[in-house]
Amino acid sequence: MVIANSVNTDETGVQTFNATTGDWTGSPTTQYIVQLGDTANKLTGVSGTGTAAQVLTSNGAGAAPTWQAAPTSIDLHTARFIVHPSGNSVGANYTTIASALTAATAGDTIFIQAKSTAYTENLTLKAGVNLTGFTCDAYTPNVTIKGKLTYTAAGTCSISGIQLETNSDNFLSITGSNTLEINFVNCFIDITDNTGVAINNGNATVNFLHCKGDIGTTGISYFNITNCNIINFEYCYFDNSGDSVTANAIASGMLRHWWSRFNNPVSITGDANIAHRWSRIETSLNDVTSLTLNTSNTDCNSFHCVYTSGTATAIVVTAGTIRIIDAHISTTNTNAISGAGTVNMSGITYRNSSQISATTQNFFPEGPRIALGGSGNAQIMCGSGSPSGSVTAPKGTLYLRTDGSSSSTRAYINTNSGTNWTAITTAS
């Protein structure tokens, strides 16, 4: 082992300590380089004497150390892969993102420095290699990748703190069959001239977490998915300054939309599914349907969500089954929900005097039931919509309708311990 004081490199005194004999040799001056080791492993045979700005450098066990120039600077960067077109002059060791990706391997993170113009590159992502900028740079924006990201490898990668902009193509394309996952965290998605995401891989999972975005023109959307495992949005806000009425579409896989908002329509087709919770689809400025289902899936759900569609029907269920619980629907259309599919619902609030005209409607009671005299006896329950033909309860059960608007639609009595109910006429 060599121990050196490299502050004053013009000192040349050398002492060698032999761990076997315990002897020191050499003639030290005021500055010491101490050489330690046993007979087999000690560093021996110092060649010459050092000069100003040199340090004694080890060449490995058993090899003679040599005097070499001291480093003129110390690299204190936290990242090994740093990108900027100006390269070393600004502390970067790669001038393009593509060249950094070529050199990086799984476990590496590439840091992209801010600059006034976009990094216009088409990139093939690697599993285990992340791209990042400072979080604030995605929104200013100071770091923008304008181009197409292609991902087909098995494994996971993440991108954070970056604005991603379309360039006459998708900004993200996923194909093949490998099991893969990609995370976008604190990114801005700038959809300027082409639909943003295209996926045709049933084993692909894509997560957008705490992201923002905007559609800048008509005829495009955030995503058009042929097949995926899950595309997930959590705590996201995606605007639509270009007034596009083109739907975000998925034909197979699951759209999970939690605590997020889209300002353009959503379309679920094929055998795709939607899990929509604590979220909003806002299409009132363009008077188009917020959510369209034409799917063979019978497990779609919407919990605690808001749909606003202007003059258009808010939700159209052409095929499939959706459960809607505790929704707020705002439309001036006569039909808030329509279609030939099945709607299982409870607790829907209508801002205007709309109604549901879906072919099959099943109402779920809301809140707790009060059982009178024990299990199997009459109850008191409440819910939205008429219980007739959809709500099963013991004979004699009183059902209070939360959306009743006339003397004959406010209360019902069960007459057969099944789904037969008779309306009770109340005071006007």
- Residue 31 pLDDT grade (very low, low, confident, very high; cuts 50, 70, 90): very low
Note the pLDDT of residue 379: 86
Mean pLDDT over residues 253-274, rounded? 98
Mean pLDDT over residues 157-178, rounded? 98
Note the pLDDT of residue 116: 94
Q: Given a cut of 50, is residue 400 above it in pLDDT?
A: yes
Radius of gyration for the alpha carbons in the chain, expressed in angstroms and rounded: 34
Q: What is the pLDDT of residues 44-101, one digit of tens each?
A: 455 455 565 666 666 666 677 777 776 666 666 778 899 999 998 888 999 999 999 9
Q: Given a cut of 50, is residue 1 above it in pLDDT?
A: no
Note the pLDDT of residue 417: 87
Note the pLDDT of residue 62: 63
Q: Cα–chain-centroid distance for residue 249? A: 17
Instruction: Pick the more confident residue, 312 or 374.
Output: 312
Q: Given a cut of 80, is residue 142 above it in pLDDT?
A: yes
- Please give the share of the chain, as a percent, with pLDDT higher than 90: 61
CA distances from 163 to 46, 140, 148, 186, 297 (A): 55, 9, 13, 9, 35
Among the listed ranges 143-147, 234-238, 409-413, which one has the minimum average pLDDT value? Answer: 409-413
Note the pLDDT of residue 214: 98
pTM for this model (two decimals): 0.74
Longest dimension (CA), the chain: 114
CB 356 within 8 A of CB 345: yes
Note the pLDDT of residue 25: 57
Note the pLDDT of residue 346: 83
Mean pLDDT over residues 232-261, rounded? 98
- Please give the share of the chain, as a percent, with pLDDT higher than 70: 81
Burial class of residue 70 (count of CB atoms within 10 Å of its CB; 0-12, 13-18, 19+)? middle
CB 388 within 8 A of CB 368: no
Per-state percent for the chain, helix, strand, coil, to nearest 5: 5, 40, 55
Mean pLDDT of the chain: 86
Residue appearing with tokens 């216009």? 120
Q: What is the pLDDT of residues 332-378, one digit of tens each?
A: 999 999 999 999 988 888 888 677 877 777 776 666 667 776 667 88
Among the listed ranges 182-196, 364-378, 404-418, which one has the minimum average pLDDT value? Answer: 364-378
Q: Among 133-137, 205-209, 393-397, which range has the highest average pLDDT?
A: 205-209
Instruction: Pick the more confident residue, 362 or 305.
Output: 305
